[in-house]
Amino acid sequence: IDHVYKALLCLDIDLYSLEPDSVLEEAWIKEAVKRSGMNYKWAKLKEKEKDKENKDAVKRCPADPALLTPRPPVVTILGHVDHGKTTLLDRLRKTQVAAAEAGGITQHIGAFIVHLPSGEKITFLDTPGHAAFSAMRARGTQVTDIVILVVAAEDGVMKQTIESIQHAKNAQVPIILAINKCDKPEADPERVKKELLAHDVVCEEYGGDVQAIHISALKGENLVALSEATVALAEVLELKADTTGLVEGTIIESRTDKGKGPVTTAIIQRGTLRKGCILVAGQTWARVRLMFDENGKAVDEATPSMPVEIVGWKEVPSAGAEILEVESEQRAHEVVDWRNYAEQQKITKEDMEVIEAKQKEHQEAHRRERDKLGNLNWRARKTILYETNKKTVQRSNQRVESGDKNVLSVIVKGDVDGSVEAILNVLNSYTADECELDVIHFGVGDVSENDINLAEAFKGVIYGFSVNANTFIQQLAAKKGIKIKLHNIIYHLIEDLKDELSNKLPPSV
Ligand code: GDP
């Protein structure tokens, strides 16, 4: 335990990154956590991980088919720049402003509803087309049911028209074609339809199922026909949702409002959102304090397909994030803690920079602590390690000559003395009968040409902890067939090493 604790101190390793295995026993980790007091929260969360309920409680639930009721379609308008998307959205929105109560001020919240005279509703997303669409797709969320593809009748199919078609196809969302600017004398809607055939968008008159509506967004011509076509397609799609149960939705826009604090616009996809609901999204949560529609009017309820502005978030969740209702504030805390923890597990380059900064900050304190704990001071231990290393090199030489296959020669590079020592300590405690581990060289700093040459001579593998290998080195290594394995988490490094060792075993073992 002392051994492990010291190793952890040297590295300032976050304990959540360690998992018990044959090298690191659970008891050691627990004891080390107790002694160090560091990252206690993470270690506790780690325990929670075993509680499966914690993981599953933050997912969408499949709907009960018996409870499904029809819902309005959610539409995204895509198309080439300048083909009239904004004009069309403005027009559609204006039809509503006229219909809205006097004094209603339309504000941009990322989406709005169009109420048709027939009583039908359509939700339009007015976040800038492509970017929002891709962002949601990237997160695996999808709120759009129908894409209205705007193509200017005098311009025809352009680059972003093709991209838009691709977006819709990837998301498996059906298209309605709005051939715009038909008021222009040079407009040629038939040409547009023909050009689209080449992109697998086949209009009804060519035997396909894509409805094409000739419109003028500028003059507001034929917009009713466009809305009707949308409703007709929605009927075919049989869009339904369950208005009961825990609320589910997707954030389409978020911002910080001076007065209201973090504010999001969401499209509700399941359940009925009411004031007081507890929601989680990304790594934050909300107790819904206020809700507004696109006219800035306070609403008490939001049902599926309705865009609604939600006030009450602790922090600003990002657009595209999934909203899920939970039963209690305590549950929300648990879910957010869990997600923070899960996020921490995914250590990225940027995270590493933060961790490295933290490591350096704590290094001195830990060094003092470590020296107090160890019988030997750092210099003395280093000398011993050096001696051991020399012997190992000699042994390795002999082995290479005798062609012994069950030896894994490794070179260990670390960012600081402490990390190298800690890794060597863990490696020293590794024992396996079938395959031996030989450290042929170790040191501080990025992987160098010298390391490559050594690795080549010993047929070794280079392990780096929190160090880099520049392009030249990477290329050199690739040319010579040398493996460079860079890690930022000691546990991953050890796991990798164990994999490498088992590769060395004869197939029969
Ligand atoms: P977006 O980039 O796709 O959002 O395109 P905009 O809505 O900004 O429109 C680009 C230009 O085309 C603007 O000058 C609009 O006034 C004009 N425009 C849009 N729709 C029509 C239309 O139906 N007829 C005509 N003549 N011009 C239009």
Asked if 310 and 251 count as a contact pair (C-beta separation under 8 A), the reply is: no
**Best probe residue, ligand 1, of 148, 218, 221 (max atoms within 8 Å of C-beta):** 218
Lowest mean pLDDT among 139-143, 296-300, 396-400: 396-400
pLDDT above 70 (res 385): no
**Cα(119) to centroid of ligand 1, in Å?**
29
pLDDT at 168 over 80: yes
Q: For residues 114 and 227, is the Cβ–Cβ distance under 8 A? A: yes
Q: Whose CA is nearest to atom 18 of ligand 1?
A: 84
User: Reduced to 3 states, what is the DSSP secondary structure of residue 178?
Assistant: strand
The verdict on the CB of residue 158 being under 6 Å from ligand 1 is no
Element (H, E) at 442: strand 436-444
Distance (Å, rounded) from C-alpha 466 to C-alpha 460?
19
Closest CA to ligand 1's atom 14: 82
Does ligand 1 have an atom closer than 6 angstroms to the CB of 225?
no
**Helices 26-36 and 40-49, axial angle in degrees (round to 10):** 150
Q: Which of 468, 452, 469, 463 is nearest to 493 (CA)?
A: 463
d(CA 57, CA 61): 9
pLDDT of residue 36: 57
3-state class (DSSP) for residue 128: coil
Helix (H) or strand (E) holding 412: strand 407-414
Dihedral sign from CA coordinates of 466, 469, 470, 471: negative
Burial bucket for residue 22 (CB in 10 Å: 0-12, 13-18, 19+)? exposed
- Point out the ligand 1 atom lying closest to the alpha carbon of residue 80: 3
Q: Report the C-alpha gap between 507 and 43 in whole angstroms.
A: 38
Q: How far is the CA of 253 from the centre of ligand 1 (A)?
A: 24
Measure Cα distances from 489 to 42, 107, 345, 347, 501 in Å.
15, 48, 10, 9, 19
Q: Is 87 in the pocket of ligand 1 (CB under 6 A)?
A: yes
User: Could you tell me if the CB of 84 is within 6 A of ligand 1?
Assistant: yes
Mean pLDDT, range 318-347, rounded to an integer: 81
Residue type, 232: A
Which among 78, 81, 82, 127 is the best mutation to test ligand 1's pocket, defined by most ligand atoms within 8 Å of the CB?
82
pTM: 0.61
Kindly give the pairing relationship between strand 175-180 and strand 212-214.
Answer: parallel
Two tokens, residue 99: 């219909």
Q: What is the ipTM of this complex?
A: 0.99
| Closest atom, ligand 1, to C-alpha of 150 | 3
Atom of ligand 1 nearest to the CA of 88: 7
- Cα(168)–Cα(171) distance, integer angstroms: 5
Length of the chain: 509
Residue 408 pLDDT more than 90? Answer: no
| Residue 458 confidence class, pLDDT cut points 50, 70, 90 | confident
Q: Is the pLDDT of residue 327 over 80?
A: yes
Please work out whether the CB of residue 188 comes within 6 Å of at least one atom of ligand 1.
no
Q: How many CA atoms within 13 Å lie on the side-chain side of 224?
A: 3
CA 177 to ligand 1 centroid distance, Å: 16
Going by alpha carbons, the residue nearest to atom 10 of ligand 1 is: 82
- Whether 357 has a pLDDT exceeding 80, the answer reads no
In this predicted structure, what is the pLDDT of residue 313? 96
Q: How confident is the model at residue 218 (pLDDT cuts 50, 70, 90)?
A: very high
- pLDDT value for 238: 93
Distance 386 CA to ligand 1 centre (A): 74
Least confident of 138-147, 235-244, 286-295, 488-497: 138-147
What is the separation of C-alpha 502 from the centre of its chain, rounded to a whole number of angstroms? 33
Check pocket membership of 218 for ligand 1, CB cut-off 6 A. Answer: yes
Confidence of residue 40 (pLDDT cuts 50, 70, 90): very low
- Residues 6+ positions from 269 with CB-CB distance below 8 Å: 143, 241, 248, 249, 250, 304, 305
Q: What is the mean pLDDT of residues 378-396?
A: 45
pLDDT for the residue 402: 46
Phi and psi based region of residue 321 (left: phi greater than 0; alpha: psi -120 to 50; beta: remaining): beta
Band of residue 397 on the pLDDT scale cut at 50, 70, 90: very low
Query: At 438, which helix (H) or strand (E)?
Result: strand 436-444
Distance 152 CA to ligand 1 centre (A): 8
Eight-class DSSP state of 501 = H
